[in-house]
Structure 1
Amino acid sequence: MMSHFETCQSPLKNIISYPTPRDQEERYMSLGFETSRAFNMNYFYFKILDDYERDRVRHLEQFDEFEEWHLKCSHYVLIMSVKGIKAGEQLTRLDSLLPSTNGWKWESLLTAKCITSTHLQRFGHASACSGSGDIVVFGGFGLDGKQHARLSSASLVSNYERECGGAVNCLNLPIHCIGATSDSIPSLIFHSLTALGNEHFLVAGGRGSPLAPSSAFYFLSLKYNEHAGDDASFLNESKPKKDVVLEWTELEMCGDPIVGRWRHSASLISTEDDDKCVFLFGGRTSNFVLDDAVEINVKTRTINMLENVGVVPGARHSHSAAVYNQEIIVSGGLTESETALSDVYVVQILMRGSKKAAVWEKVDLVPAIEPRYCHTSHVCGDFLFLVGGIQMIGGGCGGLTIINMRLHSAISFHLPDCSPGKPILLHKHTSELLWDRDKRTGRILIIGGGGTCFSFGTHINCGIFIVELDREFALAFN
């Protein structure tokens, strides 16, 4: 943003000296004003505008750029400074929207690096880790030839030996359609990609434009033919190469009807019959936000709408879900009214009479975590990792929050920027947590991420952002 205004020959002259709303308040107080309040535009929009006006704005047109809207509003402040006792008494106290101090934030325990890959310069995509440790990435929005567009391409990320410090490689992944032509591969964003085991995956939902949600399901299979040879697309050419293809099949489903959706969550669940089932929750359509729970049986190709029982979460999209033992943990998200959520729920799929139901329970955390959405999540042992996302309180991208599911406690860390001039964008990304239990070290691979701002253009991360988790870090949250 600073570079944009400098290019326009209108630099932001005070941003270095007064970088936060609190600094601006102190600036005016030092000039003799008796009362000063600074608040960013998110505060103005959500706390000062009335419900009628916010509802009117939301329904002006189809809109799906929530992240860029909220990030941009967090960068602008209104400042009210007054002199005089009566004026001061009439000025309603407007608390600055400053970062929360919940938990501890230890940047020194995290190291990071960026690896550039044109294949992974995308956002709104989906990814999943195969049984062999390779990561499949599909769809999203990125560079297609010489212009940005929704993508129908796939990539493969290999983390050899799955150990901390191992080489990370990336190559373009050809797609072979079964029973159809390559033209049938959709260009999707905000879909889900769920690993089913044995190099199989399920693609669900997503959208083209906000008026074109997808209700289709696709079955994907990785096929390997290892060989040695030259391939310039690899980031590390000292490693063995793999000739890989992704087989693509559209599934004909039966059972309950389902509406097309995007920004939902999808998690693999186990059944008594050992069928491969995927649990879908929430998301949004062209007209409303969803709170339904859906079981997808991949073996029988059946859609089963589940009854929600217990302490049921409200409708949401852009939340995250991760499997924890026999449960699924759902965290955060954004409501119909654009309220970011800080709640955490666990859900189990249980029989109630002759039918299955989604049985929900809320997790009360101490301290409470910051509201966030468009993040990713992973489970390691009894710990839930929340990676990135948009934090409405802090006015920017979230870092790394770790929740102890046994103690119901939470701790947060800043993620270091790889470059102050071009920081990592921790939204519309995907991530994978790779952990070595014996060495008590690991790494988080943050893949892609970014967005298109209506004022400042398209900004996409360089490829992979690798956060190393060393032994000192492991001791900090154990």
Structure 2
Amino acid sequence: MPTTQKKKNKREEERDTAVQRTNDSSVVSKASAAAQGYFKDDFLQHFVCKVSRRAPLINRGYFIRWRAVEHCVRKFLQVTAKCPKRQILSLGAGFDSLYFRLRANGALDEAVVFEVDFPDVVQRKAALISSNLTLRGMLDSPLQSTPAASPGPVSSAQYHLSGVDVRDEAQVKETLGAAGLDWTAPTLILSEVVLTYMETQWSDAVISWAAKLLPQSLFVMYEQIHPHDPFGWIMQEHFLKLNSTLHALQQYPDTTAQTNRFLDKGWEGCVCLDMNDFYLGLVTEEERDRVQSLEPFDEYEEWHQKCSHYFILTASQGSLMTQALLTHPPVPSMIPHWSSTALIVRSIPLSMEGLGMASTWIRTGQVLLTGGSSRGGRGAVTRVLLRGREGWRSISMPSADLGVRLYHTITSLPGGGALVFGGRSSPLSPNMSIVRVTCASPSPEKSEKGDEVKVCVEQLVCSGDPPPPRWRHTAAVVHHKGRDFLFVFGGKNQSEAALGDSHFLSLDQQHWTEIPVEGPSPEARHSHAVCSYQGGVVLFGGLSRRGVPLGDTVLMRPTDGGFRWERVAMTPPPVPRYSHRAHVSGEKLVVVGGVWLHPDGVPGVVVIDIATGCSVEYSLDTTSVPWPLMLHSFCSELTDPDQPALLLIGGGGNCFSFGTHWNQELATVDLRPAMA
């Protein structure tokens, strides 16, 4: 027994050390976001050796964390403004700069900040404060030395920093009592990604003792949720590799469970929002526009997924603290009406990775893939997927080099070949060229073997007034007065968050032409889907200029003089989404994948009957796929009409700071239950 106990204690020490390292990573990311102007904090730079610039996605992620906590702190200070005494107790504070920021802003009238963390972290922070003139000068009384009788390494009239294990209630009471914490005064308890690193029994105990010991208090917690979808799996694996397991996720996997957790542990009121709800509901549009303008950004899917996997929670004790609770957004999210039938997904043993590619059928059994990024970097090689008697194969076409091109379109042409339009290499470098891609026509025998498959690339010079540069747009072939046109709609570029313009390219004359389009135009958007339909197009979904997913279905029908926009009323309305793919089969629009903001699972397939306006949402059964199937930044193609299925190609994304996920192989979705 003693040996087992010793090993257990050693493992616990290793886990605690790993958790402490998350503080070092976090403060570097916070300092990066502050340096890029996401929020104002002049003190974080003093807690890092060097301010290093993080990726825009990480900067945004730490901005919304800072913004949510700041919102709650400000609300608490506002509600308690007339109280003679008030306190902030920060659990697992790490190298947080809250005290210094509030004091510099003059926001600490009649308020005292208490910070606790592991003794080693506290000693390091105390040493930084002691050796830094700026930090030391922000203390409201001389920095105390650390004799044995001192309540902590740093103790002044308005700031106390103490080393204590918050899992030990008795030690907490003793240490904070010695530091001068008033258990009856209004208190804000702050926990930023702290409790989840504890085994759940201990984090539950902390929530319970806080409710019991502090009868006038507001608990503010920022943590992770949704462990079971693809992003959640990647997130859990990341922290597991760091020896910092996220324990609370399994028992409290969503905002409802977290709310009930606090109510069950003695708290009187509780409001819990995921970060999408907080950002769109409690951050002004002006502030969101400011954030959008700070640096080039084109990782919307990863941003919304990150926000859907974190929450901000406020729980209250006492009538005064009820006023400080978060408010629910005014518009609830739409609930998907799931079919009882799940569509089966199976992997195809053909390695195929890529993000931001484009695809199209070039002839029976041949799919052309262009552009995108691969694990080795940007500039994926053009490929042809061949389906033969023995299954699918991939052939690289290095001679058909399109350069670095992501989020472009490739559209099959009526006379053969395909047209590549738009795209970008970076959010500051759109691709302006238009390329015609044609394939040689090998004999059936040679095609089966993959011999003599040749792809030719021709740069087109088109006359007329071309569209502004764009990516994340759509393109489809439409018919007008007996002629074929490439119809281009929406997208975004380096100056516009979303575009809502329409353009027509005459395919026979290679001339950009104006064609009248009547009716109210669809809202500006990008990352939507458009499919050719009865001479015009059908459009679905996308991300609006305001950063909100759309769920409308709109037709552009041919008229004698041009085209006319018509909105299709859907019953029930599909859940808004973007970064999906869509295909027309008869009178049905088949939409697969994408990103939505609803917490109930991830998008699967929605089948829309264009004629009747009926829609059905189908979940995907991915139990036979040996990796998390992440359906955005991917391609899809509709296969056999007799046995309808979807071919899924590539996809995945950068999962915040947890690493990039790649769908490893091709996959198929059996559509027969949905198309009967």
Question: TM-score, normalising length from structure 2?
Answer: 0.62
Of 187, 190, 208 in structure 1, the residue corresponding to residue 407 of structure 2 is 190
Asked if 1:38 corresponds to 2:268, the answer is no
Q: Which one-letter code corresponds to 2:385 in the other structure? A: V
Aligned counterpart for 1:139 among listed residues 346, 349, 371? 371
1:280 matches 2:488: yes
Task: Tell me the amino acid that sits aligned with residue 319 of structure 1.
Answer: H
Residue 125 of structure 1: CA displacement?
A: 0.5
| Structure 2 residue corresponding to 1:124, chosen from 338, 345, 356 | 356
Report if the CA contact (8 A) 2:281-2:330 is conserved: no
Shift of 1:64: 0.5
Q: What is residue 463 of structure 1 aligned with on the other side?
A: 665
**TM-score of the aligned structures, taking structure 1 as reference length:** 0.86
Measure the CA separation in 2 of the matches of 1:99 and 1:45.
Answer: 14
The residue identity in structure 2 corresponding to 1:148 is G
Superposed counterparts of 1:403-414, under 5 Å: 403-414=608-619
Partner of 1:155: 383
Q: In 1, are the aligned partners of 2:361 and 2:368 still within 8 Å (CA)? A: yes
Give percent identity, aligned residues only: 29
- Displacement after TM superposition at 1:349 (Å): 4.6
Q: Which moved more, 1:380-389 or 1:391-400?
A: 391-400
Q: Does 1:337 align with 2:546?
A: yes
Distance change >3 Å, CA 271–CA 52, structure 1 → 2: closer
Structure showing greater Rg:
2
Amino acid at match of 1:186: G
Alpha-carbon distance change, 452 to 116 in structure 1, aligned in 2, over 3 angstroms: farther
C-alpha contact 1:265 1:319 (8 A) present in aligned 2: yes
| Aligned-pair CA distance for 1:271 | 3.5
- Letter paired with 1:115: I
As a proportion of its length, which structure holds more strand? 1
Output aligned runs, 1:260-339, within 5 Å: 260-273=469-482, 275-288=483-496, 289-339=498-548
Aligned residues between the structures: 441
Tell me, what secondary structure is at the counterpart of 1:16? helix
Q: Cα gap change, 1:421/1:73 in structure 2, threshold over 3 Å: closer, same or farther?
A: farther
- Once the two structures are TM-superposed, the CA of residue 431 in structure 1 deviates from its matched residue by 0.7
| Higher relative contact order, structure no. (Cα contacts within 8 Å, ≥ 6 residues apart) | 1
**Pair 1:113 & 2:338 matched:** no
Q: Is the 8 A contact 2:633 2:652 kept in 1?
A: yes
Which digits, 9 at most, give the CA deviation of each residue in 1:217-272, with x for residues without a partner? 1111111334869x9xxxxxxx6444311110000110113211100000111233
| Paired residues of 2:463 and 2:512 also in contact (CA < 8 A) | yes
Cα separation, partners in 2 of 1:320 and 1:8, compared to 1, 3 Å: same
Distance 1:204 1:111 in 2: 33
1:143-174 Cα shifts (integer Å, max 9, x gaps): 3xxx22232x21122344xxxxx754122242
- Distance in 1 (alpha carbons) for counterparts of 2:283 and 2:626: 34
Note if contact 2:408-2:473 (Cα within 8 Å) is conserved in structure 1: yes
What is the alpha-carbon distance in structure 1 between the residues aligned to residue 637 and residue 663 of structure 2? Answer: 16
Alignment of 1:229-268 (within 5 A): 240-268=449-477
How big is the shift at 1:321?
Answer: 0.5
- 2:575 is aligned to 370
Shift of 1:79: 1.5
**Contact 1:42–1:73 (CA<8 Å) still a contact in 2?**
yes
C-alpha separation between the residues in 2 aligned to 1:97 and 1:429?
30
Q: 1:97 to 1:73 in 2, by over 3 A?
A: farther
* Cα displacement (A) at 1:192: 0.2
SS of the residue 2:307 aligns to? helix
Inter-partner Cα distance in structure 2 for 1:215 and 1:85: 61
Change (3 A) 1:419 1:22: farther
Task: Look up the equivalent residue of 1:41 and give its one-letter code.
Answer: M
Q: Secondary structure at the match of 2:304?
A: helix
Matched, 1:442 2:665: no
Match of 2:261 among 22, 27, 36: 27
User: Counterpart in 2 of 1:380?
Assistant: 585
- Does the CA contact (< 8 Å) of 1:130 and 1:198 recur in 2? no
Q: Distance in 1 between matches of 2:413 and 2:515?
A: 21
Aligned equivalents of 1:433, 1:257: Cα separation in 2? 31
Task: From 545, 548, 565, give the equivalent of 1:360.
Answer: 565
Q: Answer yes or no: is 1:172 the counterpart of 2:395.
A: yes
Within the candidate set 236, 249, 252, 1:15 is matched to 249
When residues 456 and 150 of structure 1 are mapped into structure 2, their CA distance, relative to the original with a 3 A threshold, is farther
Q: Which runs of 5+ in 1 are unaligned?
A: 161-165, 232-238
**Distance change >3 Å, CA 268–CA 77, structure 1 → 2:** same
Aligned positions of 1:412-423 closer than 5 A? 412-418=617-623, 422-423=627-628
Q: Normalized per residue, which structure has more helix?
A: 2
The counterpart of 1:58, out of the listed 292, 295, 298, is: 292
Q: 1:24 to 1:35 in 2, by over 3 A?
A: same
Secondary structure of residue in 2 paired with 1:44: helix
Amino acid at match of 2:662: I
- How much has 1:90 moved relative to structure 2? 5.8
Structure 2 CA distance for partners of 1:247 and 1:128, relative to 1, 3 Å:
same
1:444–1:468 CA contact under 8 A, matched in 2: yes
SS in 1 for 2:471: coil
Structure 2 gaps of 5+ residues are 1-234
Equivalent pair of 2:644/2:675 in contact (CA under 8 Å): no
Contact 1:293 1:307 in 2 (8 A): no
Cα deviation code 1:380-422 (max 9, x no counterpart): 1111111100111237641100111121111101112346883
Whether the aligned pair in 2 keeps the contact of 1:345 and 1:361 (CA below 8 Å) is yes
Match of 1:394 in 2: 599
In 2, the alpha carbon distance for the partners of 1:167 and 1:405 equals 36
> What is the CA deviation profile of residues 322-380 of structure 1, one whole-angstrom value per residue up to 9, with x for unaligned ones?
1222231111111222111111111135453xxx4x42111111211111011011111
Secondary structure, counterpart of 1:369 in structure 2: coil
Contact (CA 8 Å) 1:215, 1:258: kept in 2 or not? no
Letter of the structure 1 residue corresponding to residue 417 of structure 2: H
1:210 aligns with 2:427: yes
